Amino acid sequence: MARLEKLFARARRSLVGGVNSPVRAFKSVGGTPLFVRSGAGARIRGADGRSYVDFCLSWGPLMFGHARREIVAAARAALARGSTFGVATEAEVVLAEKIKGALPSIELLRMTSSGTEAAMSAARAARAFTGRDLIVKFAGCYHGHVDSLLVAAGSGATTLGIPDSAGVPKAMAATTIVVPFNDLTAVENAFKKHKGKIAALFVEPIPANMGVVFPAKGFLEGLRRITKRKKALLVFDEVITGFRVCYGGVQTLYGIKPDLTVLGKIVGGGLPLAAYGGRRDVMSMIAPEGPAYQAGTLSGNPVAVAAGTAMLDLLKRENPYPRLERLAEYYCAGLRGAAIAAGVPLRIQSFGSMFTPFFLENAVTDYVSAMKADKAAYGRFFHGMLKRGVYLPPAQWEAAFVSAAHTERDLDFALSAAAQALKAV
């Protein structure tokens, strides 16, 4: 720990808060953040020299764990040919074809370097296509730190967004309408109140940024029905769920065809890469085909594209999804049992290989119910697990993940740690 404390103090002299993304600073759970030296399979090794079973997995993209040999080899070979060109490559076309083949809703796509950039560009395309300015989003769903989408998660049914961050102009936040997740009536009311002004509705079809939350029966289908009727675009943000829950994402599982899809995380194989795509007529609004401008020197970076292609090839060939679901079920069942034995109220919500342990008794169905979880209890549990060699997302309201590299032995190790950690919650 002394090594980490010294490294964190050093980092704070050069990096804002000592980190390059806020959640890494452990503000939500307290204590000194972990610095990682390396990763292999289901484990990471910290700068403190300790090994940890990793359930964060870089927030989801590492379907096969750390440093999977085929992905590393593909990235290394691409890097040897050149790290970046700012010029089109055939490899970009190959990856685009694979993404299109997996998601029938995508007729054209554009690659970017981050999910935030992809979400921002999808909103721009939607506004350009519809000639409307307003966006509907759901409280608790996160679509990157785009000014117009970074709004407070209010509980009002059709409240206009207010800035959730300093530096976001009120006028930009006011172009976003925030409604409760799983509430079709609130969605209907928003469209009624802002008749003819809503360009698109953005949704994480299975939210993972307020913890894992399930869409109510008929909810996603209702969103598709309402947006079609109101001539607004339905945008699925599958940055986390795309290729994580199945090879074609949530839209394939539910048989729903959104107008636009935002992808990230996994399509880069663990390297910085994202994409947005959908209907040809909508995507044709993007330059050079249309008047909506979006560009990026590193978009379709050859090293990231190579890693992403290797990832999708592995997913297609090995189909790890049934096993991933079994592993997640095994771990979550064990965790529930440990919580009961310790007398700790714990609600575990999982979908496929994603899960969140909420420290409360009732089901979490939206942002308001998610916020009732005991954040302090999660912090104690997090540090109890960290002390025993298990790394979880350092925030109560985030999804955790299992990978194909995890084994039952890894999970048993983590469950043994949990049984001890829960006693101190």
Based on the domain organization, do 166 and 294 belong to the same domain? yes
- Structural domain for 92, as ranges: 69-317
Based on the domain organization, do 15 and 93 belong to the same domain? no
Instruction: Please give the Cα distance from 58 to 302 (Å, whole number).
Output: 21
Based on the domain organization, do 313 and 348 belong to the same domain? no
pLDDT of residue 156: 33
Instruction: Please give the Cα distance from 385 to 338 (Å, whole number).
Output: 13
The reply to whether 231 belongs to the active site is no
Tell me the backbone φ, ψ of residue 81, rounded to 5 degrees: -85, -10
What confidence tens digit (pLDDT) does each residue in 144-190 have? 888 778 775 432 333 344 456 677 778 888 899 999 999 999 999 99
The reply to whether 230 belongs to the active site is no
Say whether 167 sits in a helix, a strand or coil: coil
Distance from CA of residue 315 to its chain's centroid?
18
Instruction: Please give the Cα distance from 201 to 177 (Å, whole number).
Output: 9
Based on the domain organization, do 107 and 9 belong to the same domain? no
84 band by pLDDT with thresholds 50, 70 and 90 = very high
Say whether 263 sits in a helix, a strand or coil: strand
What mean pLDDT comes out for the span 71-100? 98
Contact between 269 and 295 under an 8 Å Cβ cutoff? The reply is no
What confidence tens digit (pLDDT) does each residue in 340-383 have? 999 999 999 999 999 999 999 999 999 999 999 999 999 999 99
What confidence tens digit (pLDDT) does each residue in 272-311 have? 999 999 999 999 999 999 999 999 999 999 999 999 999 9
Which residues, 6 or more positions from 83, have their beta carbon under 8 angstroms from its beta carbon?
Answer: 301, 302, 303
pLDDT of residue 163: 54
Q: Which helix (H) or strand (E) covers residue 378, if one does?
A: helix 375-387
Task: Please tell me whether the overall predicted TM-score, pTM, comes out greater than 0.85 for this model.
Answer: yes
pLDDT of residue 213: 97
Q: Which residues pair with 132 in a beta bridge?
A: none
What confidence tens digit (pLDDT) does each residue in 95-127 have? 999 999 999 999 999 999 999 999 999 999 999
Contact between 300 and 106 under an 8 Å Cβ cutoff? The reply is no
What mean pLDDT comes out for the span 8-18? 96
- For residue 90, pLDDT over 70 is answered with yes
Number of H helices, E strands in the chain: 14, 15
Please pick, among 54, 98, 265, 378, the residue that the annotation labels catalytic. Answer: 265
Given 299, 317, 335, the domain boundary residue is: 317
Given 256, 282, 317, the domain boundary residue is: 317
Q: Which helix (H) or strand (E) covers residue 39, if one does?
A: strand 36-40
pLDDT of residue 153: 41
Closest by CA position to 277, among listed 129, 135, 118, 88: 118
Contact between 191 and 230 under an 8 Å Cβ cutoff? The reply is yes
Say whether 258 sits in a helix, a strand or coil: coil
Q: What are 83's two structure tokens?
A: 């790290």
pLDDT of residue 60: 96
Instruction: Please give the Cα distance from 190 to 365 (Å, whole number).
Output: 20
What confidence tens digit (pLDDT) does each residue in 229-249 have? 999 999 999 999 999 999 999
The reply to whether 293 belongs to the active site is no
What mean pLDDT comes out for the span 135-152? 85
Number of domains in the chain: 2
Please pick, among 237, 259, 366, 410, the residue that the annotation labels catalytic. Answer: 237
Q: What are 75's two structure tokens?
A: 């990235």
Instruction: Please give the Cα distance from 16 to 19 (Å, whole number).
Output: 6
Based on the domain organization, do 96 and 16 belong to the same domain? no
Instruction: Output the CA torsion sign for 27, 30, 36, 41.
Output: negative
Closest by CA position to 212, among listed 324, 364, 327: 364
pLDDT of residue 20: 94
Contact between 324 and 245 under an 8 Å Cβ cutoff? The reply is no
Please pick, among 54, 137, 142, 410, the residue that the annotation labels catalytic. Answer: 142
Which residues, 6 or more positions from 103, have their beta carbon under 8 angstroms from its beta carbon?
Answer: 242, 248, 249, 251, 252, 261, 277
Instruction: Please give the Cα distance from 309 to 300 (Å, whole number).
Output: 11
- For residue 393, pLDDT over 70 is answered with yes
pLDDT of residue 155: 29
Based on the domain organization, do 269 and 170 belong to the same domain? yes
Based on the domain organization, do 124 and 183 belong to the same domain? yes
Based on the domain organization, do 26 and 117 belong to the same domain? no
pLDDT of residue 164: 61
Q: Could you tell me which residue, 46 or 151, shows the higher pLDDT?
A: 46
pLDDT of residue 131: 98
Burial 379-407 (b: 16+ CB within 10 A, else e): bbbbbbbbebbbbbbbbbbbbbbbbbbbe
What mean pLDDT comes out for the span 416-422? 98
Given 317, 340, 362, the domain boundary residue is: 317
Whether residue 288 has a cis bond before it, omega within 30° of 0: yes
Q: Which residue has the tokens 């985030």?
A: 398
Based on the domain organization, do 343 and 257 belong to the same domain? no
Q: What are 49's two structure tokens?
A: 């020299």
Instruction: Please give the Cα distance from 153 to 256 (Å, whole number).
Output: 26
CATH number (domain holding residue 391): 3.90.1150.10
Based on the domain organization, do 328 and 214 belong to the same domain? no
pLDDT of residue 154: 30
Contact between 272 and 301 under an 8 Å Cβ cutoff? The reply is yes
Instruction: Give, rounded to a whole angstrom, the gap between the first and last alpha carbons of the chain.
Output: 21
Which residues, 6 or more positions from 289, have their beta carbon under 8 angstroms from its beta carbon?
Answer: 283
Q: Which residues pair with 72 in a beta bridge?
A: none
Based on the domain organization, do 92 and 167 belong to the same domain? yes
Say whether 26 sits in a helix, a strand or coil: coil
- For residue 48, pLDDT over 90 is answered with yes
Based on the domain organization, do 302 and 394 belong to the same domain? no
Instruction: Please give the Cα distance from 342 to 309 (Å, whole number).
Output: 45
